Amino acid sequence: MHAAPAGRRALVTGSFQGIRLAIAEALAAEQCHLVLHGIASPEQQQAACGRVLAAGALSVSCMDHDLAAADRIDDLMATVLAAGPLDILVNNAGIQQTAPLAEMPTEVWDRVIAINLSAAFMTMKAALPGMAARGYGRVVNVASVHGLVASTHKAPYVAAKFGLVGLSKVAALEYASVGSREQGGVTVNCICPGWTETAILEPQIAARAASFGGDREAGIRDLVSEKQPSRRMSAPAEIGQLTAWLCHPIAHNITGTSIPVEGGWTSQ
């Protein structure tokens, strides 16, 4: 099986930090041209571009369209596609706000669904026809373990992630017969991370570690043990490597899947 060719072009939404930036770096290491996207300061954008270029990207550009607005998503995809073919689409932008269902503000529901689900529908709708015409394309939607199991106080987030899993299966079926093994075909898959060691979790990790005399690993084990039987978090780079592998031609027959990376959470 042929190695992944250099020069593919990838759009990664919400890609300026955490898992999202790790995915961009993993694709950069495959010598892709990267389009980064997200709401970030100029300094954050510059830092992310530097990391992606250092990882091996052939080029990098940045977009900052608000994915809560349908017209801005249209503008994003029109701009990206006008600059050249898009081979890889990673939908990774997402927000979350917790509250009991009866107390969840309707405007929060609308925004979470818009960014976490509707935006993926719109980017896929724009990108997939061109992929099909060329016989190769990859869509990787970063869902969540909460696209497979529910949790209290997360109604819009869980609804969006379950919806993203279902949307991905529909798209996978519609494009399953496109292309060939040699071309790589067009595939659509979800990755469903559980606890992943990102900066946003550091306050929780530090608080748990303090209960164990500052032992960070003990704090992490205690923090994740209720849900994640492995009692260890994933690293963002691991999600990045899985994404990059799904984009290889060798993965031409892997489509419509929702791959859990959650230490056994959903096996309980």
Pick the catalytic residue: 109, 136, 157, 265? 157
Known catalytic residue: 136? no
Cα(196)–Cα(65) distance, integer angstroms: 26
Contact between residue 244 and residue 30 where contact means Cβ atoms under 8 Å apart: yes
Q: Within 13 A of 86's CA, how many CA atoms are on the CB side?
A: 27
| Distance of alpha carbon 86 from alpha carbon 133, whole angstroms | 11
What angle (nearest 5°) sits at the alpha carbon of residue 233, between those of residues 229 and 234?
A: 115
Where are the chain's structural domains? 9-194+235-261, 199-233
The pLDDT tens digits for 14-68 are 878 888 899 999 999 999 999 999 988 889 999 999 999 999 999 999 999 999 9
Those residues with Cβ within 8 angstroms of residue 267's Cβ, 6 or more apart along the chain or in another chain: 229
Per-residue H/E/C for 155-206: HHHHHHHHHHHHHHHHHHHHHCCCCCCCCCEEEEEEEEECCECCHHHHHHHH
Find how far residue 118's CA is from the centre of its chain. 14
- The reported pLDDT for the residue numbered 198 is 78
202, two tokens:
């550091």
CATH number assigned to the domain with residue range 9-194+235-261, chosen from the 4 options 3.30.1330.10, 3.30.365.10, 3.40.50.300, 3.40.50.720: 3.40.50.720
Distance CA 177, CA 88 (A): 18
Q: How far apart are CA 33 and CA 11, in angstroms?
A: 9
Q: Which of 197 and 59 is assigned the larger pLDDT?
A: 59
Least reliable range by pLDDT among 5-9, 125-129, 178-182, 246-250: 5-9
For residue range 31-40, list pLDDT tens digits in order: 999 999 998 8
Mean pLDDT of 138-148: 96
Q: Model confidence over 62-119: pLDDT tens digits?
A: 999 999 999 999 999 999 999 999 999 999 988 889 899 999 999 999 999 999 999 9
Statement: the pTM of the whole predicted model exceeds 0.85: yes
Strand 9-12 and strand 258-261: the pairing is unpaired
**CB within 8 Å of 216: residues ≥ 6 apart:** 205, 209
Extended strands (E) in 64-183: 88-91, 136-142
